[in-house]
Amino acid sequence: MRALLRTCGELSITGGLVMLLFCGYLLWGTSSYTEWYQRILKQQLLDGPKHAKLAKIDVGDAVALIRIPRLGRDYEYAILEGVTSEDLRRGPGHYPGTALPGMVGNFVLSGHRTTYAAPFNRIDELRRGDAIIIEAPEARYTYRVSSKKVVYPEAVDVIAPMPGHPESRPTKAMITLTTCHPEYSARQRLIVFGVLSSKQDRRSA
């Protein structure tokens, strides 16, 4: 009986250590992959034409940089085209088919909140009026946060051209950030909305 209890205890300790290591990998180890891929995406943007108009972008390609001053001076991620699980391991993803930066419509981005560098971990801290800066090849676009909300995953109207009004035609350029809510759960989605407030062409930058 003692041998059985000792064996069970040893197995429990081993199992606990394995779980701790796995959790550590999810929280920190996955970030290494994202950081490595981010360097590739940022280099794509550096190597591309500086004043080119965004046109059709292939899935996996870099779209622009996102900067959010509220989240720190060092906050900067390359956005890539696509929102599959593999895409989001590489950084924030742009929903294909939604508006591109600066365009009338809804420029929709999704990002991890806890793993793979967690680019959208702190977007719950954003306040009305905060800047969301998109550095695209042809211009710098500054959006201002207009509102936040928490929805269930089936509330797909938040990524419509006019968020919340899928039947309406958009009349302004908007941005929507989406991530899981609460942290460590995919039960709901945290949504941050913004509206374009200014544009600075690269020629005058």
pLDDT tens digits for 82-128?
999 999 999 999 999 999 999 999 999 999 999 999 999 999 999 99
Residue 10 has pLDDT above 70, yes or no: no
Catalytic residue of the set 67, 90, 112, 181: 112
Catalytic residue of the set 67, 90, 180, 181: 180
Residue 144 has pLDDT above 70, yes or no: yes
Give how many domains the chain has, as a whole number: 1
Q: Which domain holds residue 128?
A: 2-204
Is 127 labeled as catalytic in the residue annotation?
no
User: What CATH code is carried by the domain that includes residue 141?
Assistant: 2.40.260.10
Residue 170 has pLDDT above 50, yes or no: yes
pTM of the model: 0.84
Is 180 labeled as catalytic in the residue annotation?
yes
Kindly indicate the confidence band of residue 57, based on its pLDDT and cuts at 50, 70 and 90.
confident
- HEC profile for the chain? CHHHHHHHHHHHHHHHHHHHHHHHHHHHHHHHHHHHHHHHHHHHHHHCCCCCCCCCCCCCCEEEEEECHHHCCCCEEEEEECCCHHHHCCCCEECCCCCCCCCCEEEEEECCCCCCCCCCCCHHHCCCCCEEEEECCCEEEEEEEEEEEEECCCCHHHHCCCCCCCCCCCCCEEEEEEEEECCCCCCEEEEEEEEEEEEEEHHHC
Residue 152 has pLDDT above 80, yes or no: yes
Is 51 labeled as catalytic in the residue annotation?
no
Catalytic residue of the set 67, 94, 113, 189: 189
